[in-house]
Amino acid sequence: MPRRRSRGRSPLFTALWGVLGVGAVVAAGIAVLSAFVARTVVIPPSRRDDDIRVLGVDRQARRIRLSATPDSLLPGEYSFWFSGDTGHARVGEIVEVDRGGVTRELLGVDFGDLADARRGRFSGWFWLTPRALGLPYENVTVTTPLGPAPAWLVPAADEESERWVILVHGRAVRRAETLRAVAPFRAAGYHSLLVSYRNDGEAPHSPDYRYALGEREWIDVDAAMAYAIARGAREIVLMGWSMGGATVLQALTRSPRAALVTGVVLDSPVVDWIATLDFQARMRRLPGVVRWGVYTLIRSRWGRVVTGLAEPLDLARLDFVTRAAELDRPILLLHSVDDGFVPATASIALAAARPDIVTFEEFTVARHTKLWNYDRTRWEDAIVNWLAALDAQRADGTSQRA
């Protein structure tokens, strides 16, 4: 009796379905990971990781012992946020390093119970309010399209000065980050306006409550420029840290008030978001296809379903290496090649592309936005000297026109 031919699937058919199944799983994994990363980029964080262990505190000797990390081993003076940001201390120079950890000077505790702290994190912030500077200041309000945004105004010693600097903090921090710049600008005769902007936890939220990486935050900086002009500003310098650097570059190239901007100072800036996101993706060993997925989601109108962005972001407009020819004001660019978060490569490329307007101060060792903390004297001198050179250039230009 002849055998009946089996109706089961052939081995080749089974293998094909297996491959397709694995491919579908991989594709789904890539899509999920891309969505997660894209959301991480644009959603303001609700908390920061405490990545340093507190090993001991000696209040009498004014010492604190911490686990050894790239941040805790940095020379200089820093903020130490502890216990989930419920406490804040200021730490100074390294006293001792051994196999068990690092001992540093304890300069002061602003609030919180450090004795009970178990973990914390370093920050480039040092002071929390202008009161710590021992200078007069005002609590003021900048009227933005989204509503009133709080700011601090530290006046110049000469109250009649028409020079203003607008100080713009970076991503996931607040205006206290910018207090470090008040002293050098005040020495040069500038009023300092330390601003908040949308979604930073102090200024009003945007309807989508998403970072726009500078592409919409600049509107609030423009409002700060309008405030300064109403108070008598005739010369404005813009200064930004990290994402604040991307923001002031947008303001410089898009604000209707940009004619009054005489120069820009950038500290650890995001000059090109693609370069920055690529760097961070490589650090996390994310495959190229995931990076492509992240950029597609951020750039695409349909990507809002995942990102929550009200409008897609134009990453090309945020690339000032490619757009270097459009810049026409003097720029002081301060960046560390050991930044560890925003690579200095784009800053170096911008300086190389525009040596006619860019003064580049290259730091080493210092990490992201911690240049002042690492070498306060060099950082402040760089700003003061650049401002003096700016004055000399303007004076020379005036005399030549005369």
Domains contained in the chain, CATH given? 52-123 (2.40.30), 130-396 (3.40.50.1820)
What pLDDT is stored for residue 401 in this prediction?
Answer: 53
d(CA 164, CA 178): 14
What pLDDT is stored for residue 17 in this prediction?
Answer: 44
Chunked into runs of 10 residues, the chain (402 residues) has average pLDDT values of 53 50 54 85 89 94 96 97 96 95 97 95 95 97 98 96 98 96 97 98 97 98 98 98 98 98 98 95 87 91 93 96 97 97 97 98 98 98 97 72 52
Residue 6's φ and ψ, nearest 5 degrees, are: -65, 135
What pLDDT is stored for residue 19 in this prediction?
Answer: 44
The pTM assigned to this predicted structure is 0.91
What pLDDT is stored for residue 289 in this prediction?
Answer: 87
Q: Tell me the CA distances in angstroms from 174 to 22, 127, 146, one per residue in order.
A: 45, 12, 18
